[in-house]
Chains A and B, each alone.
Chain A
């Protein structure tokens, strides 16, 4: 039986990201539609990669805290890294050019997330995703 909460402190590298995403896929299971599963994993990946690459600069000595919860037709993702954070207020309304090779992480948050909140420093993010189709566990 799937647990209500998935929580881990991952090593700040891409192997850590992939290991947590694999656990997340198992946690989601089959009782969620394709669009919701894709959106949830994409949001989680963006948060984790930001934490690893920008919060820890890929440093293996650091850890990133990841928490996922499900309930009442929603999935909640919380990711916190030990870095100094970033100026999310400036970047939130930045329009990415069509031929720009970077900068789409915020755009993905805004497109797929129902609610996205950073802390003041910008080293933790809370994401709420309202599912199109409720999970059976709710």
Chain B
């Protein structure tokens, strides 16, 4: 199975580059990884979605669950580098109203919220 990569590991903050699509068949690994990160004291988790092509309702549920766990301990979950399609999915499901979700401008490479 493809491993998620941890980068920018600093104290309570960590960035996880997600290596798989967040769909029903594949999201359990990341769910467990995030659970362990919160349990070990991480309070700011950034999910880098630059390699994620698809997210389904199971994946959305997993992200919301991680967000809820972090919020209980005054932490924060941020999703970055979403494709245009995934950013639109987050917006249409109104998830962007509850957490920071960013895409990338295809031409400039700058973040888009």
Contacts and interface: CB of A to CB of B under 8 A. Distances in A.
Contact of A99 (B58, B85, B98): B98
B85 A38 contact: yes
Contact of B68 (A17, A34, A38, A101): A101
A9 interface: no
B54 A42 contact: yes
A100 B62 CA distance: 10
Contacts of A98: 94-95, 97-98
Contacts, number: 62
Contact of B25 (A17, A42, A99, A103): A17
B62 to A, nearest CB: 8
Q: How large is the interface on B (under 10, 10 to 19, 20 to 34, 35 or more residues)?
A: 20 to 34
Contacts of B62: 101
B38 interface: no
A87 interface: no
Nearest to B71: A99
Q: How large is the interface on A (under 10, 10 to 19, 20 to 34, 35 or more residues)?
A: 20 to 34
Contacts of B95: 98
For chain B, what secondary structure do more than half of its interface residues adopt (helix, strand, loop), or is it mixed? helix
Interface in B53-82: 54, 56-58, 60-62, 64-65, 67-68
B7 interface: no
Contacts of A18: 25
Contact of A38 (B24, B54, B98): B54
A3 interface: no
A14 B24 contact: yes
Interface of A: 14-15, 17-18, 34-35, 38-39, 41-42, 45-46, 49, 53, 98-105, 107-108, 111
Interface of B: 23-25, 54, 56-58, 60-62, 64-65, 67-68, 83-85, 88-89, 92-95, 97-98
Given A14-B24, A102-B61, 6 more contacts: A35-B84, A41-B54, A45-B56, A99-B67, A100-B61, A108-B57
